[in-house]
Amino acid sequence: MVIKVLIVDDSSVMRRLIRQALLKDTRLEVVGEANDPIEARSAIKVHNPDVLILDIEMPRMSGLEFLELLMRLRPMPVVMFSSLARSSRDATIKALSLGAVDCIEKPSAESGNTLEKLPDSLVAAASADIGALKRTNRVSRQVQSFHWNSKPVLIGASTGGVDALQTVFSAWPENCPPTLVTQHMPENFLRSFANRLDEQLEMNVRVAGNNEEVKQGEIVICPGGAFHLELVSAVPVRVRLVEGAPVSGHRPSVDVMMRSAKAFGPGCVAAILTGMGRDGAQGLLELRQNGAETIGQDEMSSVVYGMPRVAQDVGAVKTQLPLDEIGAAILGCCSKRSRAKTG
């Protein structure tokens, strides 16, 4: 079935570029355009699109205001289309936490021809389960007492990951275990994402640097771009950034991060969250085979049950849980009180 797309952007030039980028893709059909959210409300009623491309900065109503309204009154898959301006990047991260499925950078001299990524992003977004955001409790009960047993944590996520990671970390105290995160997201948005988490959470969240130590109470996120994130030492926890081609279709790749921890298997805890595709499944399997505790998000709470499904199917997941239970489960595996046997 052809996926119906509605473009919402106040630039006629940008709307034309988007339409041209989608024209040859037989999976997609542009059924309408809107100059601003007010026009978009009428266009949605007329065309009943499957997915929306939504600009951030528009006249009469911002894309962020419209998204909040849309998610309350008529939830549907939305891909944010954002410039690289700091204000737009920050607004895009907020939009992803409100329920937008993905974000694409507007083409520019710095970002290049990002429109090449748009068709696949829209197809993935159209398959997203927006209802998962309402079905699942997105606020986890915070663990009050935690004594770390020296195990680092590795978490991989993709589509829907901004909201999922925020939910997991909301359960954690300030002295959380050292944690590595690989999240599929354009490089220029990852720093804004790390900054947003750092402002909202008790622990220290930052973009990972090369050959740096990650201490208790710290979470590092792979910066993306040309780099993958690897664990090179578990005691102390130390990471490095590795240049390389995409792996499992992605850079940064969850598989690369998970495989880097194989040597420390029994001394690690790893989780795979919502996302499209299969990145991370093989790496998680190798970790489990080497003694690590592995956790996967369940279908009901996943915006896109792709990566967690493949991980479950190949036997990489020891414990499958709804999103609001994953944060506490990870801490349980990292607590001195935990003596659970690996499966």
List the catalytic residues: 158, 184, 279
Measured in degrees and rounded to the nearest 5, phi and psi for residue 243 equal -75, 145
Cβ pair 140, 163 in contact under 8 A: no
How far is Cα 308 from Cα 224, in angstroms, rounded to an integer? 21
CA-CA distance, 115 to 19, in Å (whole number)?
10
Residues 6+ apart with CB under 8 A from 217: 174, 175, 176, 203, 204
Distance CA 231, CA 239 (A): 5
| Cα–Cα distance, 26 to 21 (Å, whole number) | 12
Query: Which has the closest alpha carbon to 244: 233, 235, 253?
Result: 253
Residue 180 β-bridge partners: 154, 220
Those residues whose C-beta lies under 8 Å from the C-beta of residue 260, and which sit 6 or more positions away, are: 229, 230, 231, 232
Distance, CA of 332 to CA of 338 (rounded, Å) = 6
DSSP string, 52-117: EEEESS-SSS-HHHHHHHHHHHS---EEEEE-SSHHHHHHHHHHHHHT--EEEEPPBTTTB-GGGG
Q: What is the CB-side half-sphere exposure of residue 336 using CA atoms within 13 A?
A: 4
Other CB atoms within 10 A of residue 145 CB: 9
Give residue 53's identity as a one-letter amino acid code. I
Query: Which phi and psi angles does 250 have, rounded to 5°?
Result: -140, 150
